[in-house]
């Protein structure tokens, strides 16, 4: 039975993928990279005055290495884009008139002569926005700390929690401590409190804000926080904040987690290298208590401060009914030659030791769309090392052919 369960688990992981990547093995210099498409943010919120709601913005960024086309769906003529097609990465401005109470979707697609390769959707909402109510906030306090004995987050006694839902909040974590070291965030963004901060030490490391009390009406929410990343490379510091190295997730019970996406400003470009991050989301089910988990994937590099959860205009839907389900991500193809490529992936919400094997599927893809692919005919190759993330060296590909692959 155990082997059967593992087999079913592995198969389930293969099917849970929501995106497919492509690689072409050719000698043509114009097609030696695997196509990719990333769009951020995927939710824009406007008020009745036609201006972005607090914490939202009037533009989205397209990151791609292919030609793209943006289409406003369902004849929502009240949405105007600064550009509807282009080549490569771009920032698209969005404008809407006043007094619109509606929603629209913009679909961005990249294609080649075969057809549509990938697509992403930006949701645009416009309407009345209620005044924001702070449910939870903590600036990590300002008490003096013993620099020879930084307290772990569950032992720290200087928390400064406020907000209508903060009374029952507690803090836990793994290899996360409270410090007043590093470059302070003073004046780095509006409301920056300066020391103290949460510091993420050796990996694995995370910090949990537990049992934020919600009312049934508090489903449209906004999470903001300040953060910095500093990596010492032999005396040279890399202060670029990579959102893929700092994950945020929500839970209704502190056990099963749903990851959320967030945007950041460009505060990491200048001293003191702190960014201000924002996530707008809507809870499909409003729990009595909400849990927030911050996870650093860089060891001893990331600091966190000024966490605020408030009511907002809403955004990406968070479904706790899917919390805890394995989530597989396909990584970009690398080391592409005429007949070989290195593929890979990663998985969340499961211990890698619980899977019998991990790997990739790949199949020749020449006509049709992604939904037309018959994955039952794909080649499945397991990684030689069961680790997270994993890689697979694929050989014996055919020159000048295009392949679809997924983890």
Q: Characterize the bridge pairing of strands 67-72 and 85-87.
A: antiparallel
Q: pLDDT tens across 31-48, in order?
A: 456 678 889 888 898 989
- What is the Cα–Cα distance from 195 to 226, expressed in whole angstroms? 12
Q: pLDDT tens across 227-252, in order?
A: 999 998 888 889 999 998 999 999 99
Q: Label residue 55 by pLDDT band (50, 70, 90).
A: confident
The answer to whether the CB of 224 falls within 8 A of the CB of 278 is yes
pLDDT at 344 over 80: yes
Least confident of 110-119, 122-131, 165-174: 110-119
What's the confidence (pLDDT) of residue 174?
A: 96
- What is the Cα–Cα distance from 407 to 326, expressed in whole angstroms? 12
Residue of 372, 375, 360 lying closest to 330 (CA atoms)? 360
The answer to whether the CB of 383 falls within 8 A of the CB of 364 is no
DSSP 3-state of 239: coil
- What is the Cα–Cα distance from 137 to 278, expressed in whole angstroms? 14
What's the confidence (pLDDT) of residue 112?
A: 73
List the 379-382 sheet strands across, edge first: 21-25, 401-406, 359-364, 379-382
The b-or-e profile of 42-60 (16+ CB within 10 A means b, else e) is bbbbbbeeeebbbbbbbeb
CA 333 to chain centre: 20
C-alpha angle with apex 201: 345 to 228, nearest 5 degrees? Answer: 80
CA 86 to chain centre: 25
What's the confidence (pLDDT) of residue 2?
A: 24
Residue of 205, 224, 358 lying closest to 295 (CA atoms)? 205
Q: Which two tokens stand for residue 54?
A: 């607090």
Mean pLDDT for the stretch of residues 343-356? 77
What's the confidence (pLDDT) of residue 118?
A: 85
What percent of the chain clears pLDDT 70, i.e. is strictly above it? 88
Mean pLDDT for the stretch of residues 191-200? 96
Residue of 169, 133, 172, 132 lying closest to 156 (CA atoms)? 172
Show the domains of the chain with their CATH numbers.
2-32+332-406 (2.60.40), 37-126 (2.60.40.10), 134-312 (2.60.120.260)
C-alpha angle with apex 368: 364 to 370, nearest 5 degrees? Answer: 75
Q: Characterize the bridge pairing of strands 302-311 and 102-112.
A: unpaired
The b-or-e profile of 323-358 (16+ CB within 10 A means b, else e) is bbeebbbbbebeebeeeebbbbbbbbbbeeeebebb
Q: Label residue 88 by pLDDT band (50, 70, 90).
A: very high
Mean pLDDT for the stretch of residues 66-79? 93
């Amino acid at each position: 039975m155990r082997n059967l369960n593992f087999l079913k688990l592995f198969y389930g992981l293969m099917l849970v993928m929501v995106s497919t990547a492509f690689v072409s093995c050719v000698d043509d210099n114009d097609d030696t990279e695997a196509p990719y498409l990333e769009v951020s943010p995927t939710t824009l919120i406007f008020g009745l005055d036609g201006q972005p709601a607090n914490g939202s913005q009037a533009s989205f960024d397209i990151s791609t290495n292919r030609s793209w086309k943006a289409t406003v769906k369902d004849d929502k003529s009240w949405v105007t884009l600064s550009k509807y097609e282009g080549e490569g990465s771009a920032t698209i401005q969005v404008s809407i008139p006043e007094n619109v109470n509606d929603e629209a979707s913009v679909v961005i697609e990249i294609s080649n002569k075969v057809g549509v390769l990938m697509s992403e959707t930006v949701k645009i909402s416009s309407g009345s926005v209620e005044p924001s109510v702070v449910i939870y906030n903590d600036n990590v306090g300002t008490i003096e700390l013993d620099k020879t004995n930084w307290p772990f987050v569950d032992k720290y006694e200087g928390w400064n929690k406020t907000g209508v839902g903060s009374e029952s909040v507690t803090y836990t974590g793994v290899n996360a401590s409270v410090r007043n070291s590093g470059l302070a965030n003073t004046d780095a963004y509006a409301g920056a409190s300066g020391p103290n901060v949460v510091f993420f030490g050796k990996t694995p490391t995370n910090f949990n804000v537990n049992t934020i009390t919600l009312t049934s009406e508090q489903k449209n929410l906004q999470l903001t926080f300040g953060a910095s990343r500093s990596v010492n490379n032999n005396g040279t510091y890399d202060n670029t904040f990579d959102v893929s190295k700092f994950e945020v997730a929500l839970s209704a019970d502190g056990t099963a987690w749903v990851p959320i996406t967030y945007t950041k400003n460009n505060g990491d470009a200048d001293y003191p290298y702190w960014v201000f991050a924002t996530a707008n989301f809507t809870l499909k089910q409003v729990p009595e208590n909400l849990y927030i988990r911050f996870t650093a994937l860089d060891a001893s590099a990331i600091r966190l401060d000024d966490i605020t959860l408030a009511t907002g205009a809403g955004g990406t839907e968070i479904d706790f009914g899917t919390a805890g389900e394995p989530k597989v991500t396909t990584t970009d193809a690398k080391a592409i030659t005429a007949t070989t490529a290195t593929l890979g992936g990663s998985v969340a919400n499961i211990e890698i030791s619980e899977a019998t094997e991990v790997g990739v599927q790949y199949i020749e893809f020449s006509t049709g769309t992604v939904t037309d692919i018959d994955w039952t005919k794909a080649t499945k190759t397991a990684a030689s090392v069961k680790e997270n993330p994993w890689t697979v060296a694929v050989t014996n590909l055919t020159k000048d052919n295009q392949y679809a692959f997924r983890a």
